[in-house]
Amino acid sequence: MTQRAELATVLDRLAVDELVTAYAVTVDDGDWTAYPGLFTSGGRADYRSSGGIEGEAGQVAGWLAENLARFAVRQHLIVNRRVRFGVLEHDTGDTARVRADYFNPMRLTDGNGSAAPDLESGGRYDFGLLRTPDGWRIGQVVVTEKWRRTSAGR
């Protein structure tokens, strides 16, 4: 591999990492207008394993907005990121697969602004990414929840 190819790969890895981080921050901050912009046209998200829906990014943003509104505090920690670049139309690096684990602590509200029990969950994200003229975007993300608990259950 030439130095130019190695540099391009490093830059792609940084861009992919930034996209995955932007995904977490967008969900945690409830920026539902920005959420679909992280995806390709027709990009999809699948939250069925955690009791959610599967659908086009705009539809899922609406579902997330409605269902996460009851949490006063949300924080994603996405770790153990494994990035693999793929081939599309004979060009290396036009696609990427990212497998990453997540830990997601959240604080429920009781509807009156008071803190209710905490909810924590963990699992894995599988991102399918595509290089577009606007940079890397999510074609598909699948959430696989592996566990959850509330502070009341400790």
Reply yes or no on domain 3-153 having CATH 3.90.1150.10.
Answer: no
Decide if pLDDT at 91 tops 60: no
Domain boundaries, the chain: 3-153
Place of tokens 């912009």: 37
Q: What is the mean pLDDT of the chain?
A: 90
Cβ distance 28 to 75 under 8 Å? yes
Rg of the chain, C-alpha, whole Å: 17
Lowest-pLDDT range, 59-68, 69-78, 90-99, 135-144? 90-99
Secondary element (H or E) of residue 72: strand 71-74
User: 8: Cβ–Cβ under 8 A, 6 or more apart, which residues?
Assistant: 93
**Which pLDDT belongs to residue 150?**
85
Strand partners, 125: 100, 143
Summarised one tens digit per residue, pLDDT across range 48-83 is 999 999 999 999 999 999 999 988 889 999 999 999
pTM of the model: 0.88
Over range 86-115, report the average pLDDT: 79
pLDDT interval class at 45 (50, 70, 90): very high
Tally the C-alpha atoms within 13 A of residue 117's C-alpha that lie toward its C-beta: 9
Q: Above pLDDT 70, what percent of the chain?
A: 86
Summarised one tens digit per residue, pLDDT across range 8-43 is 888 999 999 999 999 999 999 999 999 999 999 999
CA 15 from centroid of its chain's CA atoms: 14
Place of tokens 């967008």: 26
Cβ distance 107 to 69 under 8 Å? no
